[in-house]
Amino acid sequence: MPTSSEHWSLVVAGGGPAGFMAAIAAAEAGLQRVLVLESTPEPLGKVLISGGGRCNVTHACWDPRELVGSYPRGGKALRGPFSRFAAGDAVAWFDEHGLELVEESDGRMFPRANRSTAVIQCLRRAAAAAGVELRTHCALQAARVRTDGGFELEVRRGSDPGAAASGARVKAPAVSLTADRLLLATGSHPSGRRLAQSLGHGLVPPVPSLFTLAFKPNPLVALAGVVMDPVDLELELDLDHGSGPPPPGMAHRFRQSGPLLITHWGLSGPATLRLTAFAARALHHCGYRGTLRVDWSGGRSQPQLEQLFADCRRDQARRQLSNARPWPALSRRLWQHLLDQQGVEPERRWADLGKRQQQGLIENLRRSSYPVAGRGPFGEEFVTAGGVPLGEVNLATMESRLTPGLYLAGELLDVDGITGGFNFQHCWSSGWLAGQAIALN
């Protein structure tokens, strides 16, 4: 049975970006007795590892109407929240709390210190200064609505570190807490979904998002490390071969453009990640099988490519094909690969290139086709698609429409963005809105 009991104005389950932002916002707005529970030894673990240890805090996309286009799940529903706290507000908030963000050429924003620990230190300092209490090794196990208002919470403490080091297995007793308000900000962890369901919420089943694509066998394996920018991608899926009938309206064709990285297992890079984010549910439905068509020319038309080839035959007539690419940005290794595919000798001169071979090269440049055989090998997708449906939450305050006093923020909701910075932005926005609303109620 749970032992002990103490009362809090707000208990936040989850010491991640959304949880910290909510706790700080509530405490800075005047709320007393705010507690953050984090099940791991250190909070903000996803912040630490994001962006290769640099942390892509947000994205330089200042118009909420444009910003919502970077969320495969959430979309138009986020217009309201982002009109109150969006990327510019996040940049200003961090600046006011001592962390300067700088924009890179692709719009991603990182701390000037260029390390994620600077973001963690900023959030922890702000929480401490506002009077927020943090308890690590503490996981919220159960929550029950009290008849007189508020919540009764069962918290499981982690094992004593000293006992664990000695080899002893000591199961710490559960602790009972009460709280006027409860915020679930548990990210993609199954415990948060279970808690939300126990408090009356539905759940959109989670599936991986933001992942690489695998080819088996991989016809591009010899090109691993090649980057092409821009590249146009078109993914076509056979939804009828999925695990069951496709949901009504599920799309089967997806397109994206941008930088592409060829890997030992298939394709990665921003264009691939954006493609898999928007196609996440359809890919999951059909077992991550489909056909990927790649336009290596970056959207050049047939006449444009024919003109480039004609220019090469005129200006590079005596040069070998392998030494004179149709345009400078075309990867030399990729061009050699396409020559091999068409059976064109790399020593052949441009003047000797036949019409049929030229058309074959142009077709492969515009529409190479590869069978998708699954996801990349890592299995540690940064985000998931799924969670608590947005219709069950008042997005102006992040309060549950089903259970008064319960708030939800961050990745627990059915929202995900196309890069880490967009996902963090939703955490900052939803956390700040929740904290402000809780302090006012």
What is d(CA 112, CA 100) in angstroms, rounded to the nearest whole number? 6
- Residue 143 pLDDT: 98
- Residue 52 pLDDT: 84
Going 408 to 409 to 412 to 418, the CA torsion angle's sign is positive
- Confidence tier at 158 by pLDDT (50, 70, 90): confident
- Confidence tier at 5 by pLDDT (50, 70, 90): confident
- pLDDT cut 70: percent of the chain above it: 95
What is d(CA 441, CA 436) in angstroms, rounded to the nearest whole number? 9
Q: What are 262-297's pLDDT values in tens digits?
A: 999 999 999 999 999 999 999 999 999 999 999 999
Backbone angles phi, psi at 301, to 5 degrees: -80, 165
Residues 243 and 287: beta-carbon distance below 8 Å: yes
- Whether the per-residue pLDDT at 2 is higher than 60: the answer is no
Average pLDDT over residues 420-426: 94
Question: What predicted TM-score, i.e. pTM, was given to this entire model?
Answer: 0.88
- Whether the per-residue pLDDT at 172 is higher than 90: the answer is no
Q: Which domains does the chain have, with CATH numbers?
A: 3-207+383-440 (3.50.50.60), 211-380 (no CATH)
| Mean confidence (pLDDT) of the chain | 93
Q: How far is CA 160 from CA 138, 170, 171, 299, in A?
A: 11, 7, 8, 59
Residues 14 and 47: beta-carbon distance below 8 Å: no
- Whether the per-residue pLDDT at 255 is higher than 50: the answer is yes
Amino acid at 382: F
> What is the strand order of the sheet 58-59 is part of?
58-59, 108-111, 101-103
What is d(CA 440, CA 103) in angstroms, rounded to the nearest whole number? 34
Mean pLDDT is lowest, of 162-166, 192-196, 399-403, for 162-166
What is d(CA 43, CA 137) in angstroms, rounded to the nearest whole number? 10
Please give the helix or strand (H or E) that residue 295 lies within, else none. strand 290-295
Q: What are 327-380's pLDDT values in tens digits?
A: 999 999 999 999 999 999 999 999 999 999 999 999 999 999 999 999 998 654
Average pLDDT over residues 310-334: 96
Please give the helix or strand (H or E) that residue 438 lies within, else none. helix 420-440
- Whether the per-residue pLDDT at 159 is higher than 70: the answer is no
Mean pLDDT is lowest, of 122-131, 152-161, 274-283, 400-409, for 152-161
Count Cα neighbours of 106 within 13 Å in the Cβ-side half-sphere: 11
